[in-house]
Chain A
Amino acid sequence: MQVIDLRGVGCPTNFVKAKLALEDIAAGETAQILLDDGEPVKNVPRSLKAEGHKLLGLRQTAEGHYVLELEKVED
Chain B
Amino acid sequence: MSKAQQPAKIDLSNLKSGGFIKERGKDLFTVRLRVPGGRMSVPRLKKIAEVAEKYGGEFVHLSVRQSIELININFKDFDVVVEELGEATQKVASCGARVRVPVACGGCEYNPNGLVDTQKSALEVDEKLFGTATGHHKFKVAFAGCPFDCPKSATNDVGFQGAIYPQLDKDACISCGLCAKNCVPKAITMGEDNKPVFDAERCIWCGDCVKVCPTSAWSEKRRGYTVRIGGKWGRNPLVGTLFATFLPEERVVDFISTVLEWYKEKAEALGRIRLGDVIIKEGPQALLDHLRQQFPDNTVTATIPPQVIETQVGIRS
In the bound complex, residues from chain A placing their C-beta under 8 Å from that of B182 are 42, 46
B214 and A46 contacting across the interface, CB-CB below 8 Å: no
B176 and A55 contacting across the interface, CB-CB below 8 Å: yes
B211 and A50 contacting across the interface, CB-CB below 8 Å: yes
In the bound complex, residues from chain A placing their C-beta under 8 Å from that of B95 are none
In the bound complex, residues from chain B placing their C-beta under 8 Å from that of A47 are 112
Kindly supply a per-residue 1/0 record for chain A positions 42-75, scoring 1 wherever the CB is within 8 Å of any chain B CB and 0 otherwise: 1001110110001111111000000000000000
Q: Number of B residues whose C-beta is below 8 Å from A?
A: 11
A71 to B178 Cα, complex, angstroms = 16
B181 and A42 contacting across the interface, CB-CB below 8 Å: yes
A47 to B212 Cα, complex, angstroms = 8
A45 and B178 contacting across the interface, CB-CB below 8 Å: yes
Residue of A with least CB distance to B212: A46
Residue of A with least CB distance to B182: A42
Kindly supply a per-residue 1/0 record for chain A positions 25-47, scoring 1 wherever the CB is within 8 Å of any chain B CB and 0 otherwise: 00000000000000001100111
Known: A42-B182, A49-B211. A58 touches B112 (CB 8 A): no
A28 to B168 Cα, complex, angstroms = 28
Partner of B181, one of A41, A54, A55, A57: A41
Q: How far is the CB of B95 from chain A (nearest CB, A)?
A: 40
In the bound complex, residues from chain B placing their C-beta under 8 Å from that of A56 are 174, 214
Q: How far is the CB of A12 from chain B (nearest CB, A)?
A: 11
Some 13 contacts from A to B, beta carbons below 8 A apart, are: A42-B181, A42-B182, A46-B112, A46-B182, A46-B211, A49-B214, A50-B112, A50-B211, A54-B214, A55-B178, A57-B176, A57-B214, A60-B177
Q: Which positions in A face B, CB cutoff 8 Å? A: 41-42, 45-47, 49-50, 54-60
